[in-house]
């Protein structure tokens, strides 16, 4: 059921760096054709850093690691018409032989199956605002609690409840690490003001903690949160207003469940006249570069005996 592209398989077999990339961001996170262009740029950024990109999705029911350009185009053009696949959805899309755009959770699962330990994306899912009533908590958080993949992201978007997201990750035993920062980045802005658990300033520091965690059989992921590049960051007051508007619009439109995150992303892009999309693209590319450097360090550090 698993198809690993030859280039990706060869790199893994030789302990060369590979970076997994998700596909919900392609089909549900950005409009066409920016989604396809971004996916292509992100892959190029990974290559520029000397690592192999492995975009992950389900194509005709096959778990696909290392999507080709045709696959990326198909998921990008298909947009929201492509199934958004989290953990619960994988067996059904496979059984039906369908296509699926994988979330952070599903991408982690498939990356781990293929032996990939580093994954780059924009933002992870989290505890939604009002979750104390709706119980809307992304399956990404439980996946981070169980699957051995480091997720390099730009922190957590403030469409979510950041404080509760951190509490939930703590409960699940997931370290939240700041990349050259002491606070959790808030996706469009460089800081939420909330402290992270640990700070790393080099790829090797991140890689050493990953090795220690998994050598100790402490299963589960690590969140490595990278602030959006300075020149792409949005003004906090502007973006907060757009986010508040989007969150407030949800109940009237009856948006719940898996539709919530795509709805909020689209609404915010409309509200900010596309500036949120530009920031999103810049931060994903940046995260891919950081992830590639961490993947390099992880491979280099993996020479000690497994005792």
Task: Supply 286's token pair.
Answer: 């940046």
- For residues 187 and 123, the answer to whether their CB atoms sit within 8 Å is yes
Summary count for the chain: helices (H), strands (E): 13, 11
Task: Supply 135's token pair.
Answer: 């119980």
**Which is the catalytic residue, given 43, 49, 84, 157?**
157
Is the bond leading into 67 cis (omega within 30 degrees of zero)? Answer: no
Q: Does the protein bind ligand PSU through residue 73 (CB under 6 A)?
A: no
Whether 167 is catalytic is: no
Reduce the DSSP state of residue 284 to 3 states and report it. Answer: helix
Cβ neighbour number for residue 248 with a 10 Å cutoff: 10
Task: Supply 86's token pair.
Answer: 């989290």
List the end-to-end C-alpha distance of the chain, in Å, as a whole number.
32
| Residue 22 interacting partner from ligand PSU, Mn ion, none (CB closer than 5 to 8 Å by kind) | ligand PSU
- Least distance from Mn ion to the Cβ atom of residue 135, Å: 9
Pure H helices in 101-174: 104-114, 131-134, 139-144, 162-171
Specify the residue, 225 or 297, whose C-beta has the smaller distance to ligand PSU. Answer: 225
Whether 258 is catalytic is: no
Stretch that binds ligand PSU, among 137-145, 217-225, 230-238, 239-247 (CB under 6 A): 137-145
- Least distance from ligand PSU to the Cβ atom of residue 15, Å: 28
Q: Which H or E run includes 236? A: helix 236-249
| Residue 103 interacting partner from Mn ion, ligand PSU, none (CB closer than 5 to 8 Å by kind) | ligand PSU
- Using CB under 6 A as the binding rule, the residues of this chain from 236 to 295 that contact ligand PSU are 258, 261, 265
- Least distance from Mn ion to the Cβ atom of residue 139, Å: 7
Q: Does the protein bind Mn ion through residue 136 (CB under 5 A)?
A: yes
Report CA 33 to chain centroid distance, whole Å. Answer: 20
Stretch that binds ligand PSU, among 47-55, 66-74, 122-130, 285-293 (CB under 6 A): 122-130
Give me the 200-239 binding string for ligand PSU, x by CB under 6 A, dash otherwise: ----------------------------------------
Q: Does the protein bind ligand PSU through residue 125 (CB under 6 A)?
A: yes
Stretch that binds Mn ion, among 78-86, 102-110, 111-119, 129-137 (CB under 5 A): 129-137
- Determine the Cα–Cα distance for residues 42 and 19; give it in Å rounded to an integer: 10
- Determine the Cα–Cα distance for residues 77 and 103; give it in Å rounded to an integer: 17
Report, in angstroms and rounded to the nearest whole number, the Rg of the chain calculated over CA atoms: 18
**Choice from 5, 8, 18, 24 touching ligand PSU (CB under 6 A):** 24
Cβ neighbour number for residue 244 with a 10 Å cutoff: 14
- Least distance from ligand PSU to the Cβ atom of residue 138, Å: 3
Q: Does the protein bind Mn ion through residue 143 (CB under 5 A)?
A: no
- Least distance from ligand PSU to the Cβ atom of residue 143, Å: 9
Q: Which H or E run includes 241? A: helix 236-249
Q: Does the protein bind ligand PSU through residue 100 (CB under 6 A)?
A: no
Judged by the rule CB under 5 A, the positions of this chain that interact with Mn ion are: 136
Q: Annotated catalytic sites, by residue?
A: 22, 157
């Amino acid at each position: 059921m698993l198809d690993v592209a030859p280039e990706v398989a060869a790199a893994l077999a030789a302990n060369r760096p590979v970076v997994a990339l998700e596909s919900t961001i392609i089909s549900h996170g950005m409009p066409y054709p920016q989604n396809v262009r971004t996916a292509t740029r992100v892959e190029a950024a990974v290559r520029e850093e000397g690592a192999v990109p492995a975009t992950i999705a389900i194509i005709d029911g096959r778990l696909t690691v290392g999507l080709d350009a045709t696959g990326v185009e198909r998921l990008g053009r298909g947009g929201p018409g492509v199934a958004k696949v989290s953990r619960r959805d994988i067996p059904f899309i496979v059984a039906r032989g369908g296509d699926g755009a994988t979330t952070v959770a599903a991408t982690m699962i498939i990356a781990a199956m293929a032996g990939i330990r580093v994954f780059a994306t924009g933002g992870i899912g989290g505890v939604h605002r009002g979750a104390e009533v709706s119980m809307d908590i992304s399956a990404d958080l439980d996946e981070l609690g169980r699957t051995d993949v480091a997720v390099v992201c730009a922190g957590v978007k403030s469409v979510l409840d950041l404080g509760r997201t951190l509490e939930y990750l703590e409960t699940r035993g997931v370290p939240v690490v700041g990349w050259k920062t002491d606070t959790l980045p808030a996706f469009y802005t460089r800081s939420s003001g909330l402290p992270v658990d640990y700070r790393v300033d080099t790829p090797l520091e991140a890689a050493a903690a990953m090795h220690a965690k998994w050598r100790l059989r402490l299963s589960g992921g690590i969140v490595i949160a990278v602030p959006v590049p300075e020149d792409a960051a949005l003004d906090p007051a502007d973006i907060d207003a757009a986010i508040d508007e989007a969150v407030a619009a949800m109940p009237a439109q009856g948006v719940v469940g898996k539709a919530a995150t795509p709805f909020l992303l689209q609404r915010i892009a409309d509200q900010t006249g596309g500036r949120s999309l530009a920031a999103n693209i810049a931060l994903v590319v940046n995260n891919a570069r950081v992830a590639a450097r961490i993947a390099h360090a992880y491979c280099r550090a993996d020479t000690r005996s497994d005792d």
